[in-house]
Amino acid sequence: MRDKELYAAILGIRSPWQVASVELAAKEEEVRVLIEMQAGARLRCPECDETCPGYDTRRRSWRHLDTCQFKTILVADVPRLECPSHGVRQIDVPWAEPGSGFTALMEALVIDWLKEASIKAVARLMDLKWDQVDGIMQRAVRRGLARRKALQPQRIGIDETSYQKRHEYVTVVTDLDSGEVAWVADDRRKESLQGFFDELEPADLLRLEAVCMDMWDPYIAVVEENLHQAERKICFDKFHVAKHLGDAVDKVRRVEQREQISEGDRSLVGTRYAWLKNPEHMDRSSRSFFERLKSVALRTARAWAIKEHAMCLWNYTTRGWARKAWRSWIAWAQRSRLEPVRRVARMVRDHLEGILNAIVLGATNAGAESVNAKIQRVKRMACGFRNRERFRNAIYFHCGGLDLRPATHTNS
């Protein structure tokens, strides 16, 4: 098989295109494949698909998959046409996406690698520039979002994730049924979340059954403004309540620890995580140590007992009994004389209906927290991001469940 026929076959080049020549530039370690359009071929407008007269040609090149150790460059004089409706337009080529300097197969390979490694690592391994790899990711995300079906979630989780230090955040909305990111926006203000609800049709808003979130007032306000009977759909799940209670226990421990150290007792030093560990996960030795610990840290042990009792209240299934149990717990926590615990009790009292919704609906934000953990891994792998736009693209790329591959492809 001759070289032109070989490359036409492996590139999947078909009429009206043909391989005109194949040149080996050994010094530059490149294979240059010249592709041309057959004479008399019809030119179709990429906007309306109408046959139009030719205007001129522009030479373009695309990086393709390597031939052995040599770079493969496709070169073609791409015709431009003059459409009566859309003016002068360059025709689409079957081996690459419009506006890309890479063939579809090359982009597909880069996309596969980006799922496993950072932009910097992929650029180094594939002998590309950082901006070139980033451009492939951005185009992939735009394609994926354009192909994605209209959002019709039934249960969503709303969470913020840190973009940089100094309290820089993005708002992330997760479809809890699919586990995929549905929306990403800058900051964690009302406007950040309102954009998501603006994307939904009225029927989609009625379809929403549960909205899991933390007790962040701007998020709560947006949901209340957009959802019918929002007071029955907003859910504050166990994870966030447990986090607040865990922080309260640690604050009590730190105060008690300082007092004990001033008296020469260092029993509480280094015990922070012991108070956060689930007793069910303790072995015999750890349980014995923890029992001794409780006997020397009376206030911390009391705060811990209040926290653990709250965790048991999530086992209720009916709203009435759950409300009665939580009100009893709030009264106990308020009488504890432990100010960090009392603050959490007041917070629970003010958001009790959302906690009851989570119990009755069986709703949890664990899916959103799992996505948040994945986002943080992506951020660490990239060693941070230059701006929020790239951070948003990375979240959609890795967590959006999008169809990222180029639409055009060859048969190779």
Q: Which residue type, as a one-letter code, is found at position 59?
A: R
In a domain, 267, yes or no: yes
Which residue is listed with tokens 């995580």? 273
Band the pLDDT of 408: cuts 50, 70, 90: low
Which residues are bridge partners to 155 per DSSP? 210
pLDDT at 412 (0 to 100): 37
- Rounded Cα–Cα distance for residues 272 and 257 (Å): 10
Q: What is the pLDDT of residue 324?
A: 97
Q: How many CB atoms neighbour CB 384 within 10 A?
A: 11
pLDDT, position 410 = 44
pLDDT digits over 13-28, tens only? 888 999 999 999 888 8
Give the contacts of 383 (CB within 8 A, at least 6 positions apart): 118, 120
Q: Is 163 helix (H, G, I), strand (E, B) or coil?
A: strand
Residue 220, token pair as written in the block = 């709560």
Kindly state whether residue 403 falls inside one of the protein's structural domains. no
Coil, strand or helix: which one is 365?
coil
In a domain, 79, yes or no: yes
User: d(Cα 304, Cα 318) in Å, to the nearest integer?
Assistant: 26
Domain boundary among 327, 345, 361: 361
Distance between CA atoms of residues 179 and 366, nearest Å: 10
Q: How many domains does the chain have?
A: 2
Residue 277 has what pLDDT?
A: 81
Q: Is 200 helix (H, G, I), strand (E, B) or coil?
A: coil
User: What is residue 166's predicted lDDT score, i.e. its pLDDT?
Assistant: 61
Q: What is the pLDDT of residue 75?
A: 96
Q: Is residue 71 part of a domain?
A: yes
For residue range 364-383, list pLDDT tens digits in order.
888 888 898 899 898 888 87
Domain end position, chosen among 71, 95, 119: 95
pLDDT tier at 284, thresholds 50, 70, 90: confident
8 Å CB contact between 188 and 218? yes
Over residues 113-118, the mean pLDDT reads: 93
Residue range of the domain that includes 341: 238-361
Distance CA 63, CA 16 (A): 21
pLDDT at 249 over 90: yes
- φ, ψ of residue 18 in degrees (nearest 5): -150, 155
pLDDT at 295 over 80: yes
Domain-embedded: residue 281: yes
> Span 51-56, mean pLDDT?
91
Q: For residues 33 and 66, what is the distance between their CA atoms, to the nearest angstrom?
A: 12
In sign, the C-alpha dihedral spanning 395, 398, 404, 409 is: positive
The per-residue pLDDT for range 228-239, each reduced to its tens digit, is 999 999 999 888
- In angstroms, rounded to a whole number, what is the distance separating the alpha carbons of residues 327 and 331? 6
* Positive or negative: CA dihedral 294, 355, 218, 167: positive
pLDDT score of 365: 84
Cα–Cα distance list, 250 to 256, 343, 398 (Å): 10, 14, 35
Residue 66 lies in a domain: yes
DSSP string, 336-361: T--HHHHHHHHHHHHTHHHHHHHHHH
Q: Kindly list the distances between the CA atom of residue 216 and the CA atoms of 221, 347, 348, in Å, as whole numbers in the listed order.
A: 9, 11, 13
| Percent of the chain topping pLDDT 70 | 98
At CA 35, angle to CA 30 and CA 40, rounded to 5? 170
**Residue 341 confidence (pLDDT) above 80:** yes
Q: Could you tell me where the DSSP H helices lie in 229-361? A: 238-262, 272-276, 284-296, 298-312, 319-334, 339-350, 352-361
Per-residue confidence band for 411, with pLDDT thresholds at 50, 70 and 90: very low
Whole-number average pLDDT of the chain: 91
Residue 274 clears pLDDT 60, i.e. is over it: yes
Whether the per-residue pLDDT at 88 is higher than 90: the answer is yes
Q: Which of 48, 63, 95 is the last residue of a domain?
A: 95
313 in a structural domain: yes
The answer on pLDDT for 41 being more than 80 is yes
Query: What are 183-222's pLDDT values in tens digits?
Result: 999 988 999 999 999 999 999 999 999 999 999 999 999 9
Q: Is residue 387 part of a domain?
A: no
Lowest mean pLDDT among 33-37, 89-93, 161-165, 309-313: 161-165
43 has pLDDT over 60: yes
241 vs 387, residue with greater confidence: 241
